Amino acid sequence: MVWSKKLAFDTIELNRIVDATNTNIYAFVPFHGTPLRKMCEDLGLIKHETITKCITSESQLNMPQYHLE
């Protein structure tokens, strides 16, 4: 899967289609031992030795194509 601005806007469009009434945003946390953690490691989004926490001030994933400004 290619992570891009298009993917972000596709997500917005999907929420419009399903007429989502919830506007909460939750950070994805790739916990050790889960299939999504393994996928993130395989894609180089996170190092195996990184300890993940529920509450963080920034994403623990390495995704330079998304710039926070």
Residue pLDDT, tens place only, 6-61: 888 888 898 889 988 877 777 788 999 999 999 999 999 999 999 887 776 677 78
Domain total of the chain = 1
Q: Is residue 7 domain-resident? A: no
What is this structure's pTM? 0.59
For 41, the token pair is: 């490691």
- Looking at residue 29, what DSSP letter applies? -
- pLDDT at position 3: 61
- The answer to whether residue 16 is domain-embedded is no
Contact call for residues 52 and 32 (beta carbons, < 8 A): yes
Which residues span the domain enclosing 63? 28-69
Q: What is the pLDDT of residue 38?
A: 96
Residue 65 lies inside a defined structural domain of this protein: yes
Is 64 inside any structural domain?
A: yes
pLDDT band at 2 (very low <50, low <70, confident <90, very high): low
